[in-house]
Amino acid sequence: MTSVNKIINPHSVIILIGITIFLLLMNACDRTEPENTLVITTDDITIIRQGVYRFNGTFVNLGEFTITQHGFCWSESEDPDNNDLSIQLGPRDSKGSFSYTISALSPGTTYYIKAYAITNSVTEYGNEKSFTTSAPLLNTVIDIDGNIYNTVQIGDQTWMADNLKVTHYPDGSPIRHVEDSAIWFHFGRYDKAFCYYENVLVNGYVYGALYTWTAAINDTLGSDTNPSGIRGICPDGWHMPSDSEWKQLEMFLGMSQEEADNMDWRGTDEGGKMKNADLNLWKSPNNGATNESGFNALPGGWRHGGGYFTGLGNEARFWTSTGMGYAWFRQLDYNSSRINRDFFGYYQGYSVRCVKDE
């Protein structure tokens, strides 16, 4: 019986092994993440201005998930979650970026931030970002709630350069927070209340709160003296500006006494000198906006006595401390560089700026 010995060529073995490895690598390269994957990222934090920051996130992919809630959470400790400070921005049905603007952060503090999404009662988090808030400037003031406001000297006056957002009176008692439009509709002269535009807290962070006149002055009798002598809801050492104090500001910016004493739209470019020039905040064209005075007027809109909201991004309305049956206010619009002086009922919801005591 003849025996046959098979001799295996070592070169063939090497070639076979090489082909096998190549095929394995090709299969590995062909692998892709499944389409049904939720991918959310936390992006860099944007500094809008002193004390105001914007958190940013992106939905890279939603997969086939239904996002019932999304937003950001943050903490002074690493690895924050929804048990820490957080903001809810609502459901989501599309890819793309989202953001949240905040000012209620402690100065000189490091924060850790994550974007998040909730789907099927499960919370998915993005990567963690951190940043350190800037140290407080000398030209700032803090209210009883701990909110920090920039200030600016204009002529012989020192004004807040941010809209007031305080929710407590100087003695610590709460200001009534009213969201319901039906309740607001029935307000009269003596009702004290505040709200945020469209009852959205983030609007309060950016544009401040809206107050009835009686809440703003914390009284029922106004004042037109200069200074007004009415502290109202302003921080210690500050007060509500009277109609006369507003006239002083306007005349420093270029109005004549006669123009300042008139009603309706007055002056030429004084309003533009007061308006923040950012078209992300103001509707275009934001006529004449230079903010050269540093007043930094923000278009917080207002709440009508009927309970509805109007004007966010389009106009700013500020209470004065002067009233007798009706209260005087000032108005700045996106389509005008002038300043409107008029009066309205105490039950409207307007923004507030405070003036430093002399």
Q: Are residues 186 and 221 in the same domain?
A: yes
Q: Which residue has the higher pLDDT, 274 or 6?
A: 274
Give yes or no: residues 229 and 304 share one domain: yes
Rounded CA gap, 323 and 215, in Å? 13
Q: Which residues span the domain enclosing 289?
A: 140-356
Percent with pLDDT over 90 in the chain: 75
Specify which residues 168 forms β-bridges with: 174
The tens digit of pLDDT for each residue in 240-285 reads 999 999 999 999 999 999 999 999 999 999 999 999 999 999 999 9
Residue 179 sits in the same domain as residue 283 = yes
Torsion-angle region of 29 (φ positive above 0: left; ψ -120 to 50: alpha; else: beta) = alpha
Q: Does residue 208 fall inside a structural domain?
A: yes
Please report which helix (H) or strand (E) contains residue 251, including its range: helix 243-252
Per-residue pLDDT band for 130 (boundaries 50, 70, 90) equals: very high
Strand partners, 312: 300
Quote the number of domains for the chain: 2
Q: Are residues 232 and 292 in the same domain?
A: yes
The answer to whether residues 114 and 207 belong to one domain is: no
End position of a domain, from candidates 97, 115, 132: 132
User: Does the residue 14 lie in any domain?
Assistant: no
Same domain, 145 and 112: no
* Closest to 233 measured CA to CA, from 209, 264, 257, 199: 209
Same domain, 151 and 174: yes
pLDDT digits (tens, 9 = 90+) for 32-82: 445 678 999 999 999 877 677 899 999 999 988 999 999 999 999 999 998
* pLDDT of res. 109: 92
Query: How much is the mean pLDDT over the chain?
Result: 89
Please indicate, yes or no, if residue 26 is contained in any of the structural domains.
no
Q: What is the pLDDT of residues 275-313, one digit of tens each?
A: 999 999 999 999 999 999 999 999 999 999 999 999 999
pLDDT band for position 174 (50/70/90)? very high
Lookup: tokens for 138: 């000398």
The angle subtended at Cα 328 by Cα 311 and Cα 203, nearest 5°, is 30
Residue 133: name the closest of 111, 166, 114, 150 by CA.
Answer: 111
Q: Beta partners for 142?
A: 148
Distance of CA 181 to the CA centre of its chain: 22
- Contact partners, residue 160, CB within 8 Å, separation at least 6: 141, 149, 150, 151, 238, 353, 354, 355
Tokens of 279: 């078209």
Looking at the predicted structure, is the pLDDT value of residue 1 above 60?
no
Q: Looking at the domain assignment, is residue 31 inside a domain?
A: no
Q: How far, rounded to the nearest angstrom, does the alpha carbon of residue 19 sit from its chain's CA centroid?
A: 61
| Amino acid at the residue 137 | L
